[in-house]
Amino acid sequence: MFESVLVANRGEIAVRVIRACREMGIRSIAIFSEADRRALHVLEADEAYCVGPPPSSESYLRWDRILEVARGAGADAIHPGYGFLAERAHFSKAVQEAGLVFVGPSPETIAAMGDKTEARRRMQRAGVPIVPGTTDPLADPQGAGELAREIGFPVLLKASAGGGGKGMRVVEKPGDITRAFEAASREAQAAFGDGSLYLERFLDAPRHIEIQVMGDQFGNVLHFGERECSIQRRHQKLIEEAPSPVITPELRKAMGAAAVRAAEAVSYLGAGTVEFLFKDGEFFFLEMNTRLQVEHPVTELVYGIDLVELQFRVAAGEALTLEQDSLRALGHAVECRITAEDPYRGFLPSTGRIDYLRLPAGPGVRWDGGIISGFEVGLNYDPLLGKLIVHAPSRTAALRRMVRALDEMVIRGVETCVPFHRRVMDEEDFQRGSVSIRYLEDHPDLMDGEEDESILRAAAVAAALVEEEEQGRLRLDLAPQDGRVGFSAWRLGGRAFMGRR
């Protein structure tokens, strides 16, 4: 096993990996920008080094500086987390060339699955269902129009080199193909440095279902069931759960087997996710994310595993010792992504100083966060503050537990999406599990800004908790303590004496 690991990331995922290092007896090395000097991941790590100014292009994306720190600090391996450099084949290759271990798949695997058309070709050869469409980049709008007429409108133009909704356009009729092609290509070029596009049949309002896989250096690949990730805004996931409320045991077995074939087709090493679109009982390959996912905790909770620990073990050359037939999902888990965004102003980013933070607790509640009181939330990075995850014996119980946890959560100083999540938990279609990737478009009232009973109730609970805690935070202590008189203050782990003899 590694003696020391550099975590090439920030925020909640850096904290998550650092905590796994501590439990495994691995020395953790953090990096940070000048804006993150007092961030939680810096405080949690055994060592921390500044790699540049606040812009990520000058700090967290400077792989040359990161490698310099890794070599100087004596790191054995680099864990990339997700985002930033996690799916950059050139970074994985540079890590290997520096004599370090990249905790993730090979550069060749990252490159193959990062090219969407190449990924579709490989999946087709592996017998993984793909959405009908092209497996080669489109040459021009005219060629795209001819293929679209063969497949049948509506169709979807997508960037070959990327994801996240960038470089993507739905085309309803032949007359729209040229304008859509040019706009999608420009956007793809700006986002990924590659303007090439491919085309596939447009599936109206499918569900987004993904399968967690893990592979080792000996060719073993396991899957850990599915996650429901259909509630999205502009192709960015907001709420995830495991298992999906609509996937039967038979479908789970079929989708899991397809995901394993997908991973085997690219000799996959480490943790990865095979994403599918699901509609009317059919599933189609969407893409493969060659990294740990933001929503990995729901899988960990229902399967009782630590995916980061498994990442470290297979990266260190250990074989997977689990057997597929022994893996069973127990209960239900739900995750809400807590972001510094105002859901009633179009999810505009919110900045400021977190002057009060109260996190929910109790049975079955988990918080994976990267913030502390006093932390300054700026515009340099993703607005994700953390993830609130709950686990319970059933979906109904998990949703009730999430309601309770959201009601207890207090983050003051910035606007957050907590009220939005609270509304979703009460919405009837969501409670029934009747969702698709068009869920928010079909429920615009969830973001209309009007106060409702659930928000008022949550606000009342939060206000009462804040008042109770703040009353006990600082109080006059008139009783002598070891001959001293002063006043006491609340702190984590007990009271701290402040004053004088």
pLDDT at 260: 98
CB neighbour class for 259 (10 Å; exposed up to 12, middle 13-18, buried from 19): buried
pLDDT of residue 448: 84
- For residues 89-101, give the mean pLDDT: 98
Say yes or no to pLDDT of 190 above 60.
yes
Give tens-digit pLDDT for 10-23. 999 999 999 999 99
| Cβ 70 vs Cβ 6: under 8 Å | yes
Place of tokens 């790590």: 45
Measure the CA–CA gap between 182 and 211, rounded to whole angstroms. 33
pLDDT in tens, 211-224: 999 999 999 999 99
Q: Residue 235 has what pLDDT?
A: 87
User: How large a percentage of the chain has pLDDT more than 70?
Assistant: 89
Tokens 């096993």, residue located: 1
Note whether 203-321 and 338-472 share their fold.
Answer: yes
H or E element at residue 311:
helix 307-315
Residue with tokens 């500086």: 65
- In this structure, is the dihedral angle defined by the CA atoms of residues 299, 304, 307 and 308, taken in order, positive or negative? positive
What average pLDDT does the chain have? Answer: 91
The pLDDT of residue 451 is 59
**Per-residue model confidence (pLDDT) at position 480:** 36
Q: Please report the sign of the dihedral spanned by the C-alpha atoms of residue 126, residue 131, residue 137, residue 142.
A: positive
- Is it the case that residue 473 has pLDDT exceeding 70? no
All residues at 6 or more sequence positions from 261 whose CB lies less than 8 Å from its CB, including other chains: 126, 127, 128
Q: What pLDDT does 117 receive?
A: 86
Mean pLDDT value across residues 460-483: 50
Domain ranges (residues) in the chain: 4-103, 133-201, 203-321, 338-472
Residues with catalytic function: 291
Choices 3.30.70.1150, 3.30.1490.20, 2.40.50.100, 3.40.50.720: CATH for 133-201: 3.30.1490.20
Residue whose C-alpha is closest to residue 298's, from 260, 329, 258, 326: 329
Question: What is the pLDDT averaged over residues 316-343?
Answer: 97
Q: What is the mean pLDDT of residues 77-93?
A: 97
Can you tell me the mean pLDDT for 201-220? 96
Distance CA 151, CA 99 (A): 48
CATH number corresponding to 203-321: 3.30.470.20
Confidence of residue 465 (pLDDT cuts 50, 70, 90): low
**Does residue 486 surpass a pLDDT of 60?**
no
At 450 the pLDDT is: 64
Q: Which has the closest alpha carbon to 162: 184, 120, 132, 191?
A: 191
- pLDDT over 80 (residue 204): yes
Least confident residue range of 329-338, 375-384, 450-459: 450-459
Give the model's pLDDT for residue 463: 62
Residue 467 has pLDDT above 90, yes or no: no
What secondary structure letter does DSSP report for 343? Answer: G
> What pLDDT does 471 receive?
58
What band does 497 get if pLDDT is binned at 50, 70 and 90? very low
Burial category of 344 from C-beta neighbours within 10 Å (exposed 0-12, middle 13-18, buried 19 and up): middle
Greatest C-alpha distance within the chain: 90
Lowest pLDDT segment from 159-168, 174-183, 394-403, 450-459? 450-459
The 8-class DSSP code of residue 218 comes to: T
Amino acid at 353: R
pLDDT band at 464 (very low <50, low <70, confident <90, very high): low
Mean pLDDT of 393-415: 98
Of the options 3.40.50.20, 3.40.228.10, 1.10.287.3510, 1.25.10.10, the CATH number for the domain spanning 4-103: 3.40.50.20
pLDDT confidence of residue 469 = 60
Instruction: Concatenate the DSSP letters of all residues of 421-440 into one string.
Output: HHHHHH-HHHHHT---TTHH
SS3 at position 443:
coil
Q: Give the side-chain half-sphere CA count within 13 A for 365.
A: 17
Write down the pLDDT at residue 472.
Answer: 57
pLDDT at 481: 38
pLDDT at 462: 60
Q: Is the pLDDT of residue 393 over 70?
A: yes
Q: Is the pLDDT of residue 108 over 60?
A: yes
Question: CA-CA distances (angstroms) from residue 78 to 39, 81, 95, 187, 311?
Answer: 20, 9, 8, 31, 11
d(CA 122, CA 109): 11
Residues 115-139: pLDDT tens digits? 888 999 999 999 999 998 888 889 8
Identify the CATH assignment for 338-472 out of 3.40.605.10, 3.40.50.300, 3.40.50.2300, 3.30.470.20. 3.30.470.20
pLDDT of 500 reads: 29
State yes or no: pLDDT of 418 exceeds 50.
yes
Strand order in the sheet with 484-491: 474-481, 484-491, 494-500
Assess whether pLDDT exceeds 70 at residue 488. Answer: no
User: Residue 483 pLDDT > 60, yes or no?
Assistant: no
pLDDT tens string 32-58: 999 999 999 999 999 999 999 999 999
Cα–Cα distance between 473 and 494 in angstroms, integer? 11
CA atoms within 13 A on the CB side of 253: 4
- The Cα-based distances of 165 to 170, 194, 315 in angstroms read 11, 15, 31
